[in-house]
Amino acid sequence: MLLCAVFGGLTNILLCLMTALIHECGHIFYAAKTGYACSEIKIMPYGASAVYDIEGIRPKEELALALAGPFVNACLCVFLAGLWWFFPESYAYTDTVMKANIAMLVVNLLPAYPLDGGRALGCLLRRYISERTSLIVIKVIAALCAVGLIVAFFLTGYNLSLAVLAAFLTLSIFEKPPKASLINFSSGGRLKRGIEVKYVLCDNSVTFLQAFKMLDDKRYLVLQLSSEGGVADEITQDELYEAALCHSVYDRVFDGYFALKGLENNSSQILPSATASTQDTPFDTASSTAPDSDEKS
């Protein structure tokens, strides 16, 4: 960016950077829906990359996650095309934005690891071969793409962008996926300011993935297990995180909770008279099941 500021082109590099960040936001927002937070965004000379861990995710949902970024760029291209149709004079101000989004879309759809196209291809391959084998296949394809880009670098009169992309693919082949953590909206200074409690009544079939989608950054989640005549039991947000660490996101929440606590899920045998008292005093119940301050720290 300093070189661009000195020799010209700073505006273009800033537009490309913003395009890359918007692309990564597509991945980040979709990952957040499954309960995982982005720990950081790496900004490098050859682009940007969001760091998150999706170990254990099903191929169908990983496919949607991989295509979320290109989908954002495609939407921006459609929007700009419509803008030019109705306001042709805007072309002079947005043509660079269109080029940046088209480039971001085309490059990320290449079937090479760790680009979105490579991840999508890996999801499709895992339907027929093992995960390890599919990872090897898309990394080999990435190496072949890197070789092709180097050849194109010389054939196109030393296009520096092609060389940088080839270097990115080569380095990424040897990079291990980083780790991330579950989102906990109740951490930090929000508890000092106070958080509204959000009660959700559900049955025993709710999974951790479904529970994660109920989280928000304004209210503290308490899941209540429904039974005949009232509430059989409840799980606070902190207990949800504790149980999720030992289970897959596709496991059922209350089964995982009872297994973690060494209890037996006999919610169907609880009498309505017993559950009614629990339902009438939700704040007392929430306070009794919430972890103490030492556990939270």
Q: Which domains are delineated in the chain? A: 2-173 (no CATH), 190-290 (3.10.580)
**HSE value, Cβ hemisphere, 13 Å, CA-based, for 83:** 15
* Predicted confidence pLDDT, tens digits, the chain (297 residues): 788 778 888 888 888 889 999 999 998 888 887 766 677 788 877 677 777 766 667 778 888 889 999 999 999 999 999 999 999 999 988 999 999 999 999 999 999 888 899 989 988 998 888 878 888 898 899 999 999 999 999 998 888 888 888 888 888 887 665 444 455 555 555 555 567 888 898 888 888 888 888 887 678 888 888 887 778 888 888 888 888 888 887 888 888 666 556 555 544 443 333 333 333 333 333 333 334 434 443
Backbone angles phi, psi at 23, to 5 degrees: -60, -45
Please compute, for residue 179, the number of CA atoms within 13 A of its CA located in the half-sphere on the CB side: 1
Q: How many residues does the chain have?
A: 297
In order of 46, 113, 164, 168, 238, the CA distances from 144 in angstroms are 18, 11, 15, 13, 46
Tokens of 179: 């780790």
Contact 221/198 with Cβ under 8 angstroms? yes
Residue reference for tokens 């006999």: 266
pLDDT for the residue 188: 52
Q: Say which residue the tokens 């989102």 belong to.
A: 183
pTM of the model: 0.59
Alpha-helical (H) ranges within 8-58 are 10-33
φ and ψ at residue 114, rounded to 5 degrees: -100, 25
Q: Which two tokens stand for residue 106?
A: 């085309």
